[in-house]
Structure 1
């Protein structure tokens, strides 16, 4: 049973009402016997992660206090563990959306789910996530070479889930390293191990590139003078960071915590990371703590010592440490948090050029094994594999040939990856293959011709695969890489003229939630009040508002309108006409219907008609509150459709709604227009 708390509530409801009611088990949106990326990642979340974030203490307290501690539309409506099951379903559905679309707006909600589930509150950490995307979008076009790292991190996350789900060798290494029973018949430990992996792999994968805002300005300076990678050296104009201890210095509480934990004193994150990396890797790679500390310490101060490159991994590590300290709390930091941080610190240049020396034939050492550092191993592997479907920002990056999509087969503890290049670039590929063939015919004199990244996969040297094998040990996980071409479906990613940023996406959702309650009072409500009310919603209801905000660009496009935070010479919309609202209200109803079907709501009005048992009336203040809570406990709504209704069927359903219900999709939108003005200048304009 994948969602045990939902099942427990279903059994309680059937006992109370003597009918077959909800909540029902969510459908599996994957092929059970498939070994593709999507199926494995979703199967991992749905089947392996039972009882994720469950709290036995709260469950016992609910039984003795006659009070629920879980939040749905309002606090205390459902059991706490039921809320945790629904949260997992939210992550499952949002990851599914992203894998299907690959767009950054869907990446955003995966981050959102993770932060709500494991950091406890998205609002505390939202700038960490949102600013990475903003910096890349707005600043990276000034660079010579740069590609997206925001959506990339979600693909890396999904790849890791797929490998854990499919590869028993990696699962065993992870479980042995963290002290779980490797016997897979021990179901309880299997669940604990999977849930542990999800939490700390998520921390590692999703945030391994959040330090890029520190690297981008460094690259912009070099790009201004058109200094490419192989031209860097003495005489290159560059800058270095100073007063870095602002973000690396440990406070007294942290010093005491880590002194007790390791039996050693630390003054900075750098010292802590150096100690832990030395403990893990020094025996294999023959270095001491002082050596690796100096390498880490000098990363931001002396980039000239590292080929005139600024290492974003350093800043990702120290930035994430600060976020963990502030959001989770020093007292809750454990060895797995430190492992995630060292994995992030190692994943870029520190390990490759200061430990394993993978490009130096004289100094190179054995690649990293999964048994040595499971999280670092998996991050390095998946970060190398994820080279497809990434937006190119840099001037040179936009002209290079990169894979547009990929297909994976993870069966038999192996990885087979087919990378697809745009068939419209076939002429460029043919030219390369002719030049490469001539190079071979002429005795392979000089450097081999390149067409990165295609040549790294297609040439006989197989640089792409060979480089991975020099970084991580692939002796236990066979890797096959095949480049192919195919027609690119350029309509698969829905793009609209509306454009702002993810800061606005969150603000938009907050305003959408508030629009019902503050009609006519918009000018008097404070931003902080709206945000507080939004944060009191469960993850499911927050996501519903966010997904509505994401859909708003589509609605406006249908009206010939768009939103932006930039000044434009178009007529600004201050209120929607009844004709405009009549056009997009059915679209919103369609989104709402599909969302509820996906989240396993069922159709019915039992919560309105049934005689309430005494225990429900006692548990809640009054009958009205009890019936609202019962709706959430049944996951039943009288307006929901079931099955797989067509667009036409949903439209017909909308037309049959009572006017009062239609009004819920219509009336508050003009109030929302007034509320959204409170956030950073976002406005809606008409094209003609």
Structure 2
């Protein structure tokens, strides 16, 4: 049992990439040194988005890597750079082998590779909370009455796009089209009220904001027949980019956001949520610097069911709990000892 072996064979026999990029993907999968794997992941992300001329986003992945490495000992958080690439590769397999209604590959590139792009903000908030928790504990230890200092992080203007457009309106229309009864602006307001950054919401707004700037630079008239700047037609923004960012917005919301999801009506948010929860190998964290071994995981299709094998009962039930909201009985999580 080794999920990297399964994904490697799948990539070798697929035609998703040209020969050069295919080799890069295989080298990433085969790499066992975590530091080298990080470098390959960053290079791979840049190459995957370059054909779509969205490679400015790559700089933010580099920033994410630097912040995560610098703060891992303080936050105890898991990696999100290797996770993004592995989520992307797992999604290719599941989309090809399991889903009846296929996800568009450009939409999958953006949503899988950048769904955690705002995690540095969430990490920063955890560090700030730790600072003030220490301050408060000293106050309590001294048993002196006084106000408790605090610092609130309030995101502003993330939703404002060029030409007086608004991200909430774009995302809301797409969410309704997927048959999901979610008030996008209320979810954002709830996040602000809670003073807890949701990296999914902020990642979605960040990616949509940045790509909107790129479209405005390359196609300021927002034409659909843009011969001078092929690939920047407005229809691609309104269909593909908005879909990708809407899936990112949803992926970290509470389970009730997915209660009405149907994988044939909303395959992109379904696939992102599923792969995000399944992907758990090669994710370094404070107490496991190399992450959980890929030998503890595998994936295959049997009798039209997606079988995902894990190495322990605790991980099995943890994943089952996380994907229960997707209401898909054809996704089966098994301990490797089960037959």
> If the length of structure 2 is used for normalisation, what is the TM-score?
0.78
Q: SS where residue 415 of structure 1 aligns?
A: strand
What is the CA deviation profile of residues 20-56 of structure 1, one whole-angstrom value per residue up to 9, with x for unaligned ones?
A: xxxxxxxxxxxxxx99222223433x2xx4xxxxxxx
2:21 to 75, 91, 95: 91
1:270 to 168, 173, 180: 168
1:400 & 1:481 partners in 2: Cα distance? 25
Q: SS where residue 383 of structure 1 aligns?
A: helix
Residue 105 in structure 1 maps to residue 70 in structure 2 = no
**Is contact 2:283–2:290 with CA below 8 Å preserved after alignment?**
no
1:344 & 1:279 partners in 2: Cα distance? 16
**Is contact 1:388–1:419 with CA below 8 Å preserved after alignment?**
no
**Is contact 1:125–1:327 with CA below 8 Å preserved after alignment?**
no
1:295 to 187, 203, 214: 187
Residue 318 in structure 1 maps to residue 209 in structure 2 = no
Q: SS where residue 148 of structure 1 aligns?
A: coil
Q: 1:118 to 1:268 in 2, by over 3 A?
A: same
**Is contact 2:281–2:297 with CA below 8 Å preserved after alignment?**
no
1:338 to 203, 225, 242: 242
1:416 to 279, 283, 307: 307
What is the CA deviation profile of residues 51-101 of structure 1, one whole-angstrom value per residue up to 9, with x for unaligned ones?
A: xxxxxxxxxxxxxxxxxxxxxxxxxxxxxxxxxxxx722221111111111
Query: Shift of the alpha carbon at 1:138?
Result: 1.1
1:334 & 1:96 partners in 2: Cα distance? 33
Q: SS where residue 417 of structure 1 aligns?
A: strand
Query: Shift of the alpha carbon at 1:321?
Result: 1.0
Q: SS where residue 411 of structure 1 aligns?
A: strand
Residue 473 in structure 1 maps to residue 332 in structure 2 = no
What is the CA deviation profile of residues 258-312 of structure 1, one whole-angstrom value per residue up to 9, with x for unaligned ones?
A: xxxxxxxxx4212322232234234xx4x5xxx432212443x3234xxxx3101
Residue 212 in structure 1 maps to residue 127 in structure 2 = no
2:65 to 123, 130, 133: 133
Greater RCO (Cα-Cα under 8 Å, separation 6 or more): 2
Bigger radius of gyration among the two: 1
Q: 1:278 to 1:113 in 2, by over 3 A?
A: same
Query: Shift of the alpha carbon at 1:155?
Result: 0.4
Query: Shift of the alpha carbon at 1:212?
Result: 0.6
Give the aligned partner of residue 53 of structure 2.
119
What is the CA deviation profile of residues 223-267 of structure 1, one whole-angstrom value per residue up to 9, with x for unaligned ones?
A: 33569xxxxxxx89552224x11x321221xx5xxxxxxxxxxx4
1:162 & 1:240 partners in 2: Cα distance? 39
2:110 & 2:13 partners in 1: Cα distance? 20
Q: SS where residue 327 of structure 2 aligns?
A: coil
Query: Shift of the alpha carbon at 1:313?
Result: 0.8
Residue 240 in structure 1 maps to residue 171 in structure 2 = no
1:326 & 1:251 partners in 2: Cα distance? 7
Count the aligned residue pairs.
Answer: 298
Q: 1:400 to 1:107 in 2, by over 3 A?
A: closer
1:226 & 1:404 partners in 2: Cα distance? 34
Query: Shift of the alpha carbon at 1:334?
Result: 3.2
**Structure 1 segment 601-620 matched on structure 2, within 5 A:** none
1:380 & 1:271 partners in 2: Cα distance? 22
Q: 1:136 to 1:35 in 2, by over 3 A?
A: closer
Query: Shift of the alpha carbon at 1:402?
Result: 6.7
> Which ranges in structure 1 are unaligned for 5 or more consecutive residues?
1-33, 50-86, 176-196, 228-234, 256-266, 357-364, 422-453, 485-688
2:149 & 2:262 partners in 1: Cα distance? 37
RMSD between superposed Cα atoms in Å: 2.9
1:295 & 1:212 partners in 2: Cα distance? 18
> Which ranges in structure 2 are unaligned for 5 or more consecutive residues?
135-147, 223-232
**Is contact 1:201–1:375 with CA below 8 Å preserved after alignment?**
yes
2:27 & 2:307 partners in 1: Cα distance? 23
Give the aligned partner of residue 276 of structure 2.
383
**Is contact 1:41–1:159 with CA below 8 Å preserved after alignment?**
no
> If the length of structure 1 is used for normalisation, what is the TM-score?
0.40
**Structure 1 segment 26-45 matched on structure 2, within 5 A:** 36-44=6-14
Q: SS where residue 410 of structure 1 aligns?
A: strand
What is the CA deviation profile of residues 439-477 of structure 1, one whole-angstrom value per residue up to 9, with x for unaligned ones?
A: xxxxxxxxxxxxxxx6242xxxx3422431x221322x3
